[in-house]
Amino acid sequence: MIPLLFIISIVSFLLMTMAPGDPTAMFVNPESSKGAEQDLSAIRDKLGVDKPIYVQYAKWIKMIVLDGDFGYSFQDGRPVLEKIVERIPATLLLMGTAIFISFLIAIPIGIYSAVRQYSPLDNTFTFLSFLGISIPSFFFAIMMMLVFSLKLGWFPASNMRGDGGNLPTALDILYHLILPASVLAFGLVAQYSRFMRSSMLEVIHQDYIRTARAKGVTEGKVVFKHAFRNALLPIITLIGLQLPHLFGGALIIEQIFAWPGMGRLAIGSIFIRDYQVIMGVTMVTAVLVVIGNLLADILYAVVDPRIQYGKT
């Protein structure tokens, strides 16, 4: 696990520093007459970005390994960890809601589609899932915003909070959450339901299902007791793999709905080449991917007695 993270860090550091653009560019704005007459070489020296890449990397990895520190943002000098932690609640709320709702909706759809394969409703769901998978999220988000926010005026278009209207804070946040969470959920339901459908289909054609039916077990019991529980196994893996999304946020959706989460932090720091923050966000996500996979493997063993680790 450690060597893996190490390699990830090297690759991302290289990609980031070799990409064109200069972190000090944000200190000059040629569009403003109040142009900062800053000594850019001094800033480069302070940030250490004038050093060769391997020196920069050595400095960064030393800071991580020895001090357990993500360093300070180039932009405002705040600790990277503080900037990341500050974003977690917003992202967790948005992604958690979207993922939770998606599973709630996708699992019944998946089961139904498998049991009534090629029925008109299954075909409809299939059509909708392909739509959900293939519509670019930024387009769908803007459409939803135009329809539900601008035309119908049901939901706010941006941000996580209103400006102190009559709603209590929790309801206010919920009110702002609906639109971005639905857009995210639409895409996720599409994926999860396809996954559930195929997983369920695979199980339904197993011999023991036929045996159960042959024994005269009711169809409901066959589907939910025999088939569904077995079909859930791959879904559990899927849940484990959602962990990085849960904390990593949705880059595009957060940007469009001005949701103050990790995704926006990532995009913002990439645009201004804030290396420390980019690395911080990348590493947090990488760690979560690794943990998510590990968790999925462990869960798999827990729920499926056929799988055991360490014994051959």
Partner 1 sequence: MIKKLTAVTIAAVLLISLLSGVSSAARSGFDPKKVGGKVVLTSFSDAVTLIPLRANDQASNDIIGMVFDSLVRKDFYGQPIPGMAERWTYDAKTLSYTFYLRKGMKFHDGKPVTANDVKFSFDMYTHPKTLNTYKADFTDIQSVTVVNDLTVKFTLKKKNVFFLTNAANSGAILPKHLFPRGIDDYNADNSYFSRHPVGTGPFKFKEWRTDERVVVSAFNDYWNGRPYLDEVITRILPDNNVESINLIKGDVDFVQVISPRTVADVEKSSNLKTVVYDRGRFDYIGWNNDNPLFQDKKVRQAMNYAMDRQAVVSKIMLGRGYLGTGPFHPKLPQENKNVKPYPLDLNKAAQLLAEAGWKKGSDGILEKDGKKFEIEIAYNNGNVTRPKVAQILAQNLKKLGIKASVRGYEWSLFLDKQQKGTLDMYVLAWGGYDGNVEHYGILHSSAIPDKNGDGGNNAWHVHYSKVDQLLEAYLQEEDSSKRNKIYQELHAFLADEAIAIFTHHPKLTAGMNKNLLGVRISLSSPYFNIEDWYWKK
Given the rule CB under 8 A, which residues bind partner 1?
20-22, 24-41, 72, 75-79, 83, 86-87, 142, 145-146, 149-150, 153, 156-163, 255-256, 258, 260, 264-265, 268, 271-273
- Alpha-carbon span 7 to 163, nearest angstrom: 45
Q: How far apart are CA 40 and CA 29, in angstroms?
A: 12
Dist CA 34 CA 129 (whole Å): 52
By C-beta, is 25 or 131 nearer to partner 1?
A: 25
Contact 91, 262 (CB under 8 A): yes
Judged by beta carbon, residue 77 or residue 168, the one nearer partner 1 is 77
Cα(156)–Cα(167) distance, integer angstroms: 13
Q: What's the CA gap between 129 and 191, in Å, rounded?
A: 7
Q: Name the one residue in this structure whose structure tokens are 């947090």.
A: 284
- The type of residue at 268 is G
SS3 72: strand
Cα angle: 241, vertex 247, 252; to 5 degrees: 95
Question: CA 36, CA 139: separation in Å to the nearest integer?
Answer: 37
Classify residue 79 as left (phi > 0), alpha (psi -120 to 50) or beta.
Answer: beta
Round to whole Å and give the CA distance between 120 and 105: 18
- How far is it, in rounded angstroms, from Cα 81 to Cα 304? 37
Give φ, ψ of 168 to 5 degrees. -65, 160
